[in-house]
Structure 1
């Protein structure tokens, strides 16, 4: 019997990292923990040329994480990563997409895409081909960065791109997990100081991979990735 597979397409905030990069972690590396309390088989599939791909196989479910740092929906597609993922999608599978962190970067021509073009590309190149395979596309709005206003509220990141995802969900009935709002609300609730403990805000010598320290407000530590994966799980189980 074929196992249902949940495919993940996205950027560095979703990606599975090498051990040497610890504590940096994407929520895609933690999602399986909410589906199983037993050991999983973690492996690199043999049918892909991309070395970042990580597959988590459980008794009745597979999570196949194809997310890669620095990719937008444009560059993920242009590099052939999307075609590599799509060829493996079967009827009944789920495909989650989380972009926007790199799509909004006007300084990187190979990544940048306007919000309107982002919407069109998601529909035509990402959603429709999955529907043709009788699988289930699910949009995930980009996680919030650690970005607080002067009233102590965490801002929703890349709001124009988030709005396009919500529009697609409303217009097409596509599943949408509003992770951007959920993470911004969570960050506001715990406060900016606590947020430093889940993002890559590292003091010097804390970890071998970042001996000089870091002030990274976009990427997650393992703790943050686990929490955010829980938000995805709670919404995803409503769609499964």
Structure 2
């Protein structure tokens, strides 16, 4: 497989410019959680409300001293995110002690798209290594996050998996490279199965006509979330992410968290 020279050099260069902060500076700096991912994790704008990604809701389960930089980009794969320079942007900003959550798969599965498609046991792992190596070169902690499962049920209401071998490939890479793993595919699949076909509609972007001015004709989206679902998927990520700084255990125990804890900026930050 051919990874672009620019992607490789960009990763190396991004790591090279990082200076180790002085102890005094490190004490003042807030720990940061960076998110590299796709539309399921992205932050959405006012015009998209109530659509939300789980990266948009991470702060709900982290204390205020932790900063979240959500670089997740709608439509991105592990390949296109790196090729577009988005990984370089993270590596130019990440510092020792920070965490990089890496979650791809949905768009890597589009193997007929040369800009995005990867193969699970070769190019997918090769691109993911760029994220792991870049974070480690910056003395930050990379964490692999398997892709969140879609809302898929048989006619009998039985959930089924949709991501093929990509999650297994990520699990194998995590074991090989001794990288922390959050198995969001397994965690979300279990949650959707417990909720069932009807209750999951309150988590995914299912809206009746007239329910939201942003979706006047209604919408039935089995991949993306509305606020409640984004919060619950973020809960899964933080609960399983033992290496995340500042986990708010009180928030993790609460079952009454309102959707109003999320905010929607005027524009999608990763696209502006």
Q: TM-score range by the shorter chain?
A: 0.7 to 0.9
Does residue 19 (structure 1) correspond to residue 46 (structure 2)? The answer is: yes
Alignment of 1:109-128 (within 5 A): 109-116=114-121, 117-123=123-129, 125-128=130-133
Does residue 225 (structure 1) correspond to residue 230 (structure 2)? The answer is: yes
Does residue 6 (structure 1) correspond to residue 33 (structure 2)? The answer is: yes
Match among 53, 67, 72 for residue 77 of structure 2 = 72
Match among 65, 73, 83 for residue 88 of structure 2 = 83
Specify whether residues 118 and 21 from structure 1 end up closer, same or farther in structure 2 by C-alpha distance, changes over 3 A only.
same
Within 2, Cα distance between the matches of 1:167 and 1:26? Answer: 26
Does residue 167 (structure 1) correspond to residue 167 (structure 2)? The answer is: no
> 5+ residue gaps in structure 1?
37-57
The one-character-per-residue Cα deviations of 1:22-65 (angstroms, maximum 9, x if unpaired) are 010000111101113xxxxxxxxxxxxxxxxxxxxx3x211100
Give the superposition deviation at 1:238. Answer: 4.8
Does residue 92 (structure 1) correspond to residue 97 (structure 2)? The answer is: yes
Give the superposition deviation at 1:235. Answer: 1.1
- In structure 1, the residue matched to 2:266 is none
The one-character-per-residue Cα deviations of 1:194-230 (angstroms, maximum 9, x if unpaired) are 1111111221111111111112110001000000000
Match among 98, 113, 124 for residue 108 of structure 1 = 113
Check the 8 A contact 1:89/1:135 in 2, yes or no.
yes
- In structure 1, the residue matched to 2:150 is 145
- In structure 2, the residue matched to 1:32 is 59
Within 1, Cα distance between the matches of 2:72 and 2:243? Answer: 23
> 5+ residue gaps in structure 2?
1-27, 246-272
Check the 8 A contact 2:33/2:244 in 1, yes or no.
no
Check the 8 A contact 2:43/2:72 in 1, yes or no.
yes
Match of 2:74, SS? coil
Check the 8 A contact 1:138/1:174 in 2, yes or no.
yes
Greater RCO (Cα-Cα under 8 Å, separation 6 or more): 2
Give the superposition deviation at 1:155. Answer: 2.2
Give the superposition deviation at 1:134. Answer: 1.2
Match of 1:101, SS? coil
User: Structure 2 length as normaliser, TM-score?
Assistant: 0.77
Give the superposition deviation at 1:183. Answer: 0.5
Give the superposition deviation at 1:96. Answer: 0.2
- In structure 1, the residue matched to 2:140 is 135
Match of 1:209, SS? coil
Computing the radius of gyration from Cα coordinates, the structure with the larger value is 2
Give the superposition deviation at 1:132. Answer: 1.3
**Structure richer in strand, relative to its length:** 1
User: Structure 1 length as normaliser, TM-score?
Assistant: 0.87
